[in-house]
Amino acid sequence: MLIIVLDPGHGGSDPGAINGKHYEKAFNLTIATETARYLNDNYSAAVHFTRIADTTMGLYERAGYANELNADYFVSLHINAGGGTGFESYIHTSAGSTTHKYRDILHNRIADFYRSKGFPDRGKKSANFAVLRETGMSAVLLENLFIDNGSDLSFLLKSSFLKQLGTAIGDGIARALQLKTKTPGSGTIPARMPATALTGRARQLLKSRNPAAPDYIDIYVKMGEIYRIRWDAVFAQSCKETAFWRFGGDVRPQQNNFAGLGAFNGKEGASFATPEEGIEAQFQHWHAYYHGGKLPPGRPSLDPRRNAVLSTGWAGALNFVEDLGGRWAPAQDYGVSIVRDYMAKFMDEVIPGPIPTPPPVPTPPEPSPAPDSPANGGGWNPEAEIDRLKKDGLIVNDHAPDAPVTWGEFAAVINRLRDRLTSGDSNDNPTSPGNQPPDKENSGNKENSGEEYPAKTEEKELLQNGDFSQNSQGWEINDTYIQTEANGNKYGVSNYTWRFRQDFPVNPGWKIIFNGRTRNGGSPNAARVVIGFINYSGTLKVVSDIRHTHQGNGWESFPRQELTVPSHAVKGRVFLLTNGGTGVHHFDDISIKKL
C-alpha cells in the first residue's frame, strides 16, 4: 500500500499568511482534511498528516517525518499571498523525472478545477523550498488562491468549495500514483485524521453514562495532537474498555490503565503513575499500529506492549479504527464496536463500516509428513488439525488455516490445555481416570449396582473455598468480611460492593451449575449473586443476576441456576453483594460446578 503524506503548511505559533481574522494555517488543515477524506473513502492508500491540529512543526521535522515513514509522495498545502489570484505548484529545482510526471498529472487536474471556477493557472514552477529539498521522495507544494485577494478569499470561506478542492487534489494524487480502488468492506473511520467530535458532546455522553467519571478529555485531545491519532476514537475505546470508567474487569481504577494494556488471561494489566501517563501509553499503542517506527520526538516510552506490536506484521499497517478487530483484541468486530457503540453516540456523522475480513498471512511451508500418523492421515492437513482442536474443545469457532492468531487466542488455547492437564481432565471425558470421583461419592451407588460408572454425571467444583472454612482464601476480599457462628461455621458478609468476588476457570461450551445459601444480616433488599464471563480483551459480560428475598431469619437457598459458558469466555467471575441500600447479607456454601 502506497504511503502519502499530506503537509498542512504552518500551524501553531506560525499562522502563515493572514487577512484580518483569517489565517492560512487553518485553511491548509481543512484542505488537507478534505483531501484525506476523499482518498480514504475511495482508494487503498495509507494517508498521513504532518499535523492533525493547530500545532507548531518545523520544516525539517515535517520532511523528517515523511522520510521516517518511507513515504511515496509528499504533498504540502498552502495558501498564497502578496498580490495575485489563482493556483500554482512547485517542485524542487533538481527534481527527477518521476516527480515531474507526478506533478504534471496532479497540477493539470487541479488547474482544470480552478478554471471551472474562473481562476487562472499560474503555472508549474520550481523552487528550493526546504520541504521539497529535504524529503527523500517525490514532493510537491501547492499554492491554492490568495488569502489577500477578496474574491479568492470569498471562495476559501465556503466549505463546499474546500470540499470540492480536496476532491480535486485527492483525485489528482490518485491519478498520479495510479492508486488502487478501495477494497469493498473496508473501514469508514480513518484513525490518522483530525478529530471531528466536539469535546462538549463527549463530556455530555460520559456524564450521562457515569456522573462520577473523571474528566480526562483534555488529555485525550492533547495526546491526539502529539501522536497524530484522532482523540475521539481513543476516548471511545476507553469508554468501551472501562465501561465509562466504572471498571469491573481485571483492571482497577488506580492503575490508570484505560485501555486494558497487558490485561489478558487473568492478568491485571499494566499500571501507570498518573492518568496522563496511562492515556499517553494508550496512544503509543495506537501509534504502533497506525504509524509504526519511532515515537514522536521527546516522548517517553510508556507502553509495555508496544514492542509486541512492532514485532508483528501489523506495525504501521492499519488505516481505519475498524481495523483494530483481530489485532488489539481477538474479536473481529472490536474496532467496529468502538465506532458503532461509542463514537456514534457523540458524533452525528459516524457510520461504522462492516466487520473487516481478516487479511491473509503468508502461507507457511509445508512440513515433512509425519510417518504413518493416524491423527492426520500421515500428511500436512491443517483443516483436519483445526477440526481436532475444535472437537476437543480447545478452540470454539471455525478458523481458516491462514487466519492470523493473536497472543490472546494462543494464550487461551495453552491455558485450556494446562487446565486439563492439571485437573486430569485430559479429554473432557468423564470416563478418564483423572475424572473419577472419590470412592465415598460412588459408594452404595453405581459402583455396587453393576452399572458402569460413565452413566453417572460428574460435577467438578470450580470455586475455591465456597464454604469460607479457609477464611477469605480464594476470594478478592480481606478476612474482616468473614465471620464465625457459635457452632464454628464460617460465612461471608457483604454489603452493596462489587469487591467481594472470585474468578473461576471455564471453557466455552461448558455447562455449569450454581448453588448457594444466604441469610439476612439487616438489609431491606434482596441478596444477590452475579455471574459473568470475561473475554480476551478483559471485558466482563454479566449473564446471570441471581436474587433472593428472604422469608425469615435463617439460612435460605438461592435458586439453582444452570448456565452455558459462552464462546467468548476465557474465565468466569462471581460477585456476592446486596441489591443496594444499607445493611448486609450473609453467604455460605457458594458453589459453581461444571456438569
CATH superfamily of 460-594: Galactose-binding domain-like (2.60.120.260)
Q: How far is CA 568 from CA 141, 379, 506, in A?
A: 51, 32, 11
From 529, 506, 534, select the one nearest 578 (Cα to Cα): 529
The per-residue pLDDT for 420 is: 64
Best CATH choice for the domain 3-177 from the list 3.40.630.40, 2.30.40.10, 1.10.10.410, 3.10.310.10 = 3.40.630.40
Please, what is the end-to-end C-alpha distance for the chain in angstroms? 51
Which value, in Å, is the radius of gyration of the alpha carbons in the chain? 31
Cβ(432)–Cβ(453) under 8 Å? no
pLDDT of residue 191: 97
CATH 2.60.120.260 residue window(s) in the chain: 460-594
Please state, in angstroms and rounded to a whole number, the distance separating the CA atoms of residues 27 and 143: 11
From CA 62, how far away is CA 131, in angstroms rounded?
7
For residue 492, list its beta bridge partners: 482, 587
Angle between helix 199-209 and 231-242 (nearest 10): 0
Of 34, 88, 143, 280, catalytic: 143
Instruction: Give the orientation angle of helix 231-242 with respect to helix 275-290, to 10 degrees.
Output: 120
Q: Which fold does the domain 199-345 belong to in CATH?
A: Lysozyme (1.10.530)
**Which pLDDT belongs to residue 358?**
54
452 included as an active-site residue: no
pLDDT at 443: 31
Comma-separated ranges of CATH 3.40.630.40 domains in the chain: 3-177
443: left (phi over 0), alpha (psi -120 to 50) or beta: beta
CB atoms within 10 A of CB 196: 15
494 φ, ψ (degrees, to nearest 5): -140, 145
**Distance between CA atoms of residues 109 and 176, nearest Å:** 10
Per-residue pLDDT of the chain (595 residues; tens, 9 = 90+): 899 999 999 999 999 999 999 999 999 999 999 999 999 999 999 999 999 999 999 999 999 999 999 999 999 999 999 999 999 999 999 999 999 999 999 999 999 999 999 999 999 999 999 999 999 999 999 999 999 999 999 999 999 999 999 999 999 999 999 999 998 778 889 999 999 999 999 999 999 999 999 999 999 999 999 999 999 999 999 999 999 999 877 788 999 999 988 876 556 688 999 999 999 999 999 999 999 988 999 999 999 988 888 887 788 999 999 999 988 888 888 999 999 999 989 987 665 555 555 554 444 433 333 333 333 333 345 666 776 776 676 776 656 655 667 776 677 777 777 766 655 443 433 333 333 333 323 333 323 333 233 334 457 899 999 999 999 888 988 776 899 988 899 999 988 777 889 999 998 889 999 999 999 888 888 899 999 998 766 678 888 989 999 888 899 999 999 999 988 788 899 989 887 667 888 999 999 999 8
- For residue 69, give Cα distances in angstroms to 43, 136, 393, 504: 19, 10, 43, 46
H/E/C letters for each residue in 430-472? CCCHHHCCCHHHHCCCHHHHCCCHHHCCCCEECCCCCCCCCCC
In whole angstroms, what is the distance from residue 9 CA to residue 139 CA? 14
Residue 422: the pLDDT is 57
Name the pTM for this structure.
Answer: 0.61
Which residue from 79, 59, 66 is spatially nearest to 6, judged by alpha carbons?
Answer: 66
Cβ burial 295-311 (10 Å sphere, 16+ → b, else e): beeeeeebbbbbeebee
- Grid coordinates representing 399? 478458523
Residues 6+ apart with CB under 8 A from 52: 29, 192, 193, 194, 195, 224, 225, 228, 229, 230
Question: Which neighbouring-strand residues pair with 485?
Answer: none
CA distance 390 to 573: 24
Q: Which sign does the torsion angle of CA 356, 266, 206, 33 carry?
A: negative
DSSP of 11-78, one letter per residue? Answer: BTTB--SEETTEEHHHHHHHHHHHHHHHHHHHEE-EEEES-SSS----HHHHHHHHHHHT-SEEEEEE
Q: Is 530 helix (H, G, I), strand (E, B) or coil?
A: strand
Quick one: which of 59, 10, 56, 60 has its CA closest to 30?
A: 10
Q: Quick check: 335 and 193 in contact, CB under 8 A?
A: no
Could you give the residue range(s) of every CATH 1.10.530.10 domain in the chain? 199-345
